[in-house]
Structure 1
Amino acid sequence: MKAIVHDESGPADVLRLTERPVPDPGPGEVRVRVVVSGVNPTDWKLRSGGYGALSGTEAVPNQDGSGVIAAVGDGVGGLAVGDRVWVTLAAYQRPDNGTAQEFIVVPVEQAFPLPDGAGFDLGAAVGIPAITAHRALTVAEDGPARLSPGALDGRVVLVAGGAGAVGNAAIQLARWAGATVIATVSSDAKGALATSAGAHHVVQYGGGADVAAAVRSIAPDGVDLVVEVAAGANAATDTAVLKPRGTVSIYANNGDQPFNVNVREYMGLNARLQFVLLYTVGWDKLRAAGDDVNAAIAAGALRIGDDAGLPLHRFALEQTADAHRAVEDGATGKVLITVADA
C-alpha cells in the first residue's frame, strides 16, 4: 500500500512516499481503508519533533481520518466490513499508524460510525478539533458532562479564535447545545467565518480594541465559559469577562506569550482553569465525546465548508508535505488529504 513516512524529525521535507505492507487487525481491532486524512497542528508538531525526537522508527503522520472498514479482528462487535467510519488519535502510541496511508489498524473503540449523509471529508475533519471542542465545553463545575440540545441553555460561551478548526467546532457544538455564543476574531474575513459557523456575536481584537468591554456590552453579567486558544495573550480579558465560578478551558497558547496566572483575580472569581489535551483524557471520555459529535452531525448541526465557516483545502496523498506546510503556515480552515477514491 502507499504510505507517507518519515524516519527523522524535522521540516515537512522529511516526509516521503513509499510502499508498506497492509496491516492485519488483531483481536478487538479493525482495519480501515482510508479515504481522507485530516491534518491538525498536532501532526506537524509531532513530525517536527515538538513533542520529542523520533526514536529510530518509521512514522506515518496524521491522527484523524475517515474510510471504510476492510477487515475486523476477533471479538469485534458493532462494526462490520463495509461500514463507513471516522477515526481519531490513530497514531497515538502507534507512530507507524497515522492516516496518511491507504490502510490503518485501530482498536474498535477508536472507530466511530459515520452518520448517514455525512461525507468522508466531514469524517476526517471532526476528530481532534471537534472532540477538543466538546471537552472544552463540558468541564465546567456546574456544567454538563455531555452535549445535546438544551445542555447549555442559559449559558454564555466565549470562543477565542472563532475562525480556527477547534473554534469553529466549539461555536457549532455550543450553539447546538443551546448556549449564547460570542466569538473573537482578528479580521472582518474571519468574523464572517465565525458568523457562518453560528456565532451570535463576533468581537474583533487588535488595533487597540477593548475586547473585554465589547464582550461585557453583549453579556453584562459575564460569560460562563471561555474556550481559549491563546491563554497568555488573553489572560487579562478572560478574568475581566468571566462570571464568578466560571471556567476557562485552555487547549492552546497561540503566540506563546507566557501565561501568568493572577491568583488574586482567579481566586476572587472562584474560577476553574481546565487544560485540554486529548492524548491523556481517557477513552471513556473520548468515546462519549465522539458519540455526541455524531449526534450533532446526524442533526445537521456540525458541518464543514465555506457555508459553515470552515473553508476546505485539499491535497493528494503525494502532496502531504504541502498539506503539512499549509497547516504550519496557519491556513484558515481545514486541510484534508485525499488518500483514495471513495
Structure 2
Amino acid sequence: MRACPEHGPPSEADHRFCEVCGRNLDTGEPPRVEVPTVWVSSRASGTACGGCGETFATSQAYCDHCGRRRSVGRDHAELDLGTVAAVTDKGRRRRRNEDAVVVGRSAGLNLAVVCDGVSTSTRSDAASHDASEAGLTSLLADLSRGADPAKATVEAARAAAAAARAVAEASDGDAPPSCTYVSGVVTPEGVTVGWIGDSRAYWLGSDAAGMTIDDSMAALIAAGRPLPLALEPDPESRALIRWLGADSGDPEAQVMSLRPTGPGHLLLCSDGLHHYLSDPAALAEAIAGRSPIDAARHLTTVALDGGGHDNIAIALLAFPPPGGPLP
C-alpha cells in the first residue's frame, strides 16, 4: 500500500493524496505550499472615473461627469506595501494616464512591474494595465513554486505579451494597443529585472548603476549590442524597436541579475521620470533616507517640477526583502 513518509498510509487504498499534508502518493511529490501573497495595481475602480473620480452612471465609453473616455488607470495612484511601493501620475501635459504599475509582496520577496503605454497606439492604457497585472501574477505563481527568478522573469514577460496582444480589436487597425514592460524581483539573494522597450530599472545602493538598456537603435548601438538583421543601423534613432502588442512580434525579455553587496533599492520607472533624472548616482542621492513610498512620491515631484511632459510610473523595492539576510 502506498504511504506518506510522514503520515503513513491513506484511510482508503485508492486515495491518491495524503489526507493530512496533501503529498501525492503516486509520484511522491511533496504538498504544494501556498505562500501568502499580496499585490495591488494602479487600475481604476470598475465604477469610478480614473480622471474625476465620479461614479459612472451608465456603461458608455465616456464619463458622464467630465466627458473623458473611460480610463483604465487612475490619473494619480499611490501603492504602498511597506518594503515595495509605487506612485503613478498622468503628468502635466497628457489627457490621461497610460502608464501602469503593480507591486506585490510574498514571503521573502518584493516584486513590481511597470508598463508605459505607447502613445501612438490606441487604448494603450488597456495594454499597459493588462500586461502589468499578467506579468506580476505570473511572477508570483512561478516564484511561489520555487522557480529561478531569471526563468520566472522570462515567463512573466511572455504572459504580459500575451495579455497585451489579447487587448487588440479589429477596429484598432494598424495601431493596436501597445506598451513597454519592465519587471523587478528582489529576493534575499539578489535582484533580477527583465524588460522590453524603454522603461528602465536602476540599482540604487552604494554602487548605484543602471540595469537596463533601452530597446532603441541608438541605445543598442552605443552599448555594442546587435540589432535585428532587418534594420538599417541608425545611431541617432531613439524609436522603439521592441514593445508589447499585437504588432510586436512576440519579443523575449532581456534579463539582468545583480547580487548586491549591501542594502539599497531597486527602482523601476517609465520615461516620465528618466527623461528628467537618469543618472544612477543622482537617483540614489535623491531617495537617500526615504521609505519606498516617500521615495516614489519625491521622484514623482521631481518629474512634475521638471515639466511633467509624460505619464510617470515609479516603483521602489527594498533590498533585502523582509526576513532576508544580506549576502
For Structure 1 versus Structure 2, the TM-score category normalised by the shorter chain is under 0.3
Q: TM-score, normalised by structure 2?
A: 0.27
Q: TM-score, normalised by structure 1?
A: 0.27
Higher fraction of helix: 1
